[in-house]
Structure 1
Amino acid sequence: MAQAQRAPASSSTPWQPEHSLFGKQPTPLYRHEATLTDNQAYTLGELIDIAEENNPATQAAWDRARIAAANLGIARSELYPTIIAAAAGRAFLNPPLLYSSFALQDIGAFETALKLDYTLVDFGARRDEINAAKAKLLASNLTFNNQHLILIQQVSSAYYNLLNAIGLREAAEVNLHDARVVEEAVRDRKANGLATLPDLLEARAATAKADYELQSSLGAEQTAFGDLATVMTASPTKPFKVQELRDLLIPDTLDQTVEDAIENAYQTRPDLLADIARVKAADAEVKYARSAYYPKLDFEGSKGWLRAWGQQEKFGGTYGKTYTYDAKLSLTWTVFDGFRRESRLARAKAERDAAEHEVREREDLIADHVWGDYANAITALHERKAATSLLSASDESYSAAVESYKDGVRNILDVLSAERDLAHARAVDVTARTQVLQSFMNLAFRTGDLLTQHPKGNHP
């Protein structure tokens, strides 16, 4: 343990702790994993429920809100008197000086009392402290909500990325199947003398490329699954299923203007509202700092019961008892404190200005982000319609090319070109569908609506 109390010996080499520093047991890890089963397909709402129940960031934000609530209780306690019950006993043997000689005396005393302290007037200091604590609690609660908003966005984004990866993998499987069908058709035509060896080699290359793209999409799917499991605080080594893209309703229109979206964000974004609450807290802190310039009137009082026994040298012992009381009014006014009050007031004003500037910066960022995500949502809707048309046209073109090739009208290069276009159209269609979901979710996240309008699971 002695080595742990010193800094590293040099900046050029890592610190090497002693083996006994951490003991014989392994270093404790505060690990917690969400439990998911593989016998059901989880909806997005259910995934959000599980993440909210297990995510450490939201739990830490909740703890900070509880701390702020406790601080408010502490501030409010200043409004009430302090009552202390005290009991004290004392015994001593000493020789006091009486004239020119000492007299040894033995005294024992026992006292019980109730003491009351109360601030009568402080010119609003306690009120300002309470107002600051209230605003800080509000900011903590809103920050807690914002952490949930961020978590919902993270889970939704990871879920849609996984759906996109699954869709691309399924499209790649279909593409590989089509490539093998074309290769088999070319092989049959070559056996009948209707195709050449280069035609067969082209078809084989197309099949190999489709297989490569399938393997790549499988890897991307595994990566996307791991990302979702991490956000869920689940283990990526334990498989679970999710509701598939084909089971989701893809929106086809936006129900608000960009102006309404920006204004709605100003009213509902918890991070902006938390910043505004911090400005209110800073205002109260400024008032609290000013209250130090005013006097304070305090009352102190106590009432008790005293019993004592004593004996002086050469005299007999004696016993006495009596009621005791004490009352005191104190008016205190700090005249000079080394400019501490001035410095504290300057600091409070600077913190208030900084909080206001942060609000203004947040408002600008919100407007920019909502504008950008609104444009992305409009673009995604248009791309979705274009992707649907592209897929339909590419499918028809591919079917016609295959039939024409079988009839000897088209060559293999035409078929392979149509096959590539169809594979591309399938990938575009999957991406366009997930992009609509992703862009709508991002817009709801930027406006703050995602906190209440996200898909629901088991929890309302």
Structure 2
Amino acid sequence: MSWGETATAPSLPAAPDAQKTYDLAALIDLAQETNPQTRQAWEEAKAAASRAGIAGARFLPSLALAGFGGYSRIESRTALGPVYTEGPSLTTRLLLNWTLMDFGRRDAELDSAMQELLRFNWQFNRKHQEIAYAVQRHYYRTAALQARLQSAQATVTTAQSVLTAADVRLSHGLATRSDLLLARQELARANFDLQTARRDLTDERAALAEALGVSPAAPLKLAEWSEQPAPQLPDAVEQVMDSALQQRPDLAAKLAELRAREAEVRKAQSAYLPTIGLAASVGGTGGSFRPSVNARSYDYAEPIYNAFLTFSWDIFDGYAREHGVREAEARAGQAKAELDSQQLKALREVWKAYADVKAAQLQINYAEALVQTAEDAYAGTLEGYRSGLNNIVELLAAERDLSQARTTRIDSRAELLTASAALAFASGSN
């Protein structure tokens, strides 16, 4: 920063509407507006558009105004001795330079710049998809942790019921003090898990705020995730893989980069050929001079104009052009390898996400059955404990199984929704 400049104060993140309840679609719209990564990608695309404009400008002539002036004193030798001529003068010219033919240099440069513009445009689109996917993941995780918090609260209530049952049995002489202590221990564990769930939920809401591009302290009301419909899995993974190769913006960006590198190869090869252009100028020179042999001043004004057809051809440059072609070809080969690698990565991501969705769909059905059986087992064990048929250890084990089953059901639904979002992101359709 130079002297006299002032630093720009950092702007605060945008705040969401405190009165609005945001569902997933509304959260994604908010993130597209407020996340600074979208602005960064947009500015990169704008810079690429400007570079394309610069490449196109090389097809047009350039005009420049030049001038120089000052005071001069010239010494001339004569038989009678030196004679001095002095006075002010000014020369101005309007210069025109126009490359008429360069045998493909500018065409290749413009092609490369246009492909770079396409690359940044595709990257801008992919950035939107990345932000949408990040919001989805954090939204599902936040919703799952919110459900976990409710489950932890239910577990505390259940543990309190066990403690009450143990206390009643102890008062009737049907239980030992060890039963009461174990029930209190279970209640303490349930309360500890409740505070852990609250902490995890707070951390995840902060991560969601970062994905949205808002302050973690901003009030944000989220819609219940139960309103989120269950996704439909495509019939064949091959169909999704073909779709990914055709519509993923990052693959299109890699393809545009490859074409830009190929254009650079053509530009490097055209450096072996000459350039033909036009150079012209129009202007004039004028001034006043006075010889030292007399006191009289002479004024003058003369027009100056010219036009030339220029020709330039580098015959030998120390093999610099040869190395330039090799470098351009190597960069094109590198871009081709990166495209192939990115395509393989995309296929692997689609395959994995498809398998994850398929497994999650089966797991969620088993999780529902697990919760139902765990609830029945806990209710039966609690009734058996009250009637003296089960001991406290069996009851606490049934309570832990019920708590774990609830967590499994919550996690399975979150995994299904997250895997579906990952599949849409991998296929480039989100």
TM-score (norm 2): 0.91
* Separation (CA, whole Å) in 1 of partners of 2:15 and 2:79: 87
1:146 maps to 2:126 = yes
The CA distance in 2 between the partners of 1:139 and 1:74, in whole Å, is 17
| CA deviation profile, 1:363-389 (whole Å, cap 9, x unmatched) | 111111110111001111111111111
Q: Secondary structure at the match of 1:320?
A: strand
Aligned residues: 426
2:200 aligned with 1:254, yes or no? no
User: Once the 2 structures are TM-superposed, how far is the Cα of residue 327 of structure 1 from its aligned partner?
Assistant: 1.0
**1:71 lines up with 2:33 in the alignment:** no
Q: Aligned letter for 1:255?
A: P
Match of 1:375, SS?
helix
Aligned counterparts, 1:145-184, within 5 A: 145-184=125-164
Alignment partners' CA distance in 1, 2:88 and 2:185: 107
How far apart are the structure 2 equivalents of 1:123 and 1:315? 59
Residue of structure 2 aligned with 1:286, choices 265, 268, 271? 265
1:409 Cα deviation after fit: 4.1
What CA distance in whole angstroms lies between the structure 1 residues aligned with 2:174 and 2:75? Answer: 132
Q: Which residue of 1 aligns with 2:338?
A: 358
Secondary structure of the structure 1 residue equivalent to 2:167: helix
Percent identity (aligned): 31
C-alpha distance 99-78 of structure 1, shift in aligned 2 (>3 A): farther
Q: Distance in 1 between matches of 2:78 and 2:234?
A: 98
Q: 1:273 aligns with which of 252, 255, 264?
A: 252
Equivalent in the alignment of 2:21: 41
Deviation at 1:333, TM superposition (A): 0.7
Matches within 5 A, 1:293-442: 293-312=272-291, 313-314=293-294, 316-442=296-422
Cα 1:100–1:284, aligned 2, differ >3 Å: closer, same or farther? Answer: farther
Alpha-carbon shift at residue 31 of structure 1 (Å)? 5.9
Shift of 1:259: 0.7
List, as ranges, runs of 4+ consecutive aligned residues in structure 1 with deviation greater than 6 Å. Answer: none
- Structure 2 distance, partners of 1:400, 1:257, is 44
Instruction: From the superposition, tell whether residues 78 and 180 of structure 1 become closer, same or farther in structure 2 (CA, over 3 Å).
Output: same
Residue 184 of structure 2: aligned partner: 204
Contact 1:106 1:311 in 2 (8 A): yes
Deviation of 1:151 after TM superposition, in Å, equals 2.0
Which piece of structure 1 moves more, 262-271 or 52-61? Answer: 52-61
Distance 1:245 1:330 in 2: 72
| Aligned residue among 71, 82, 85 for 1:102 | 82
Q: What is the aligned partner in structure 2 of residue 14 from structure 1?
A: none
2, 15, 33: which one aligns with 1:53: 33
Aligned mates of 2:24, 2:79 — CA distance in 1: 94
Question: 2:260 and 2:157 mapped to 1: Cα distance?
Answer: 65
Cα distance in 2, alignment partners of residues 385 and 184 from structure 1 = 34
State the alpha-carbon separation in 2 of the partners of residues 249 and 34 from structure 1: 29
| Deviation sequence 1:342-397 (CA, Å, 0-9, x none) | 11111101101001000111111111111011100111111111111111222222
2:51–2:113 contact (8 Å) kept in structure 1:
yes
Counterpart-to-counterpart distance in 2, 1:184 and 1:122: 93
TM-score (norm 1): 0.86
Q: Which residue number corresponds to residue 220 of structure 1?
A: 200
Of 262-271 and 79-88, the range deviating more from structure 2: 79-88
5+ residue gaps, structure 1? 1-22, 451-460
Q: Which secondary structure does the structure 1 equivalent of 2:215 belong to?
A: coil
Structure 2 alignment gaps of length 5 or more: none
C-alpha contact (below 8 Å) 1:158/1:224 kept by paired residues: yes
Partner SS for 1:105? strand
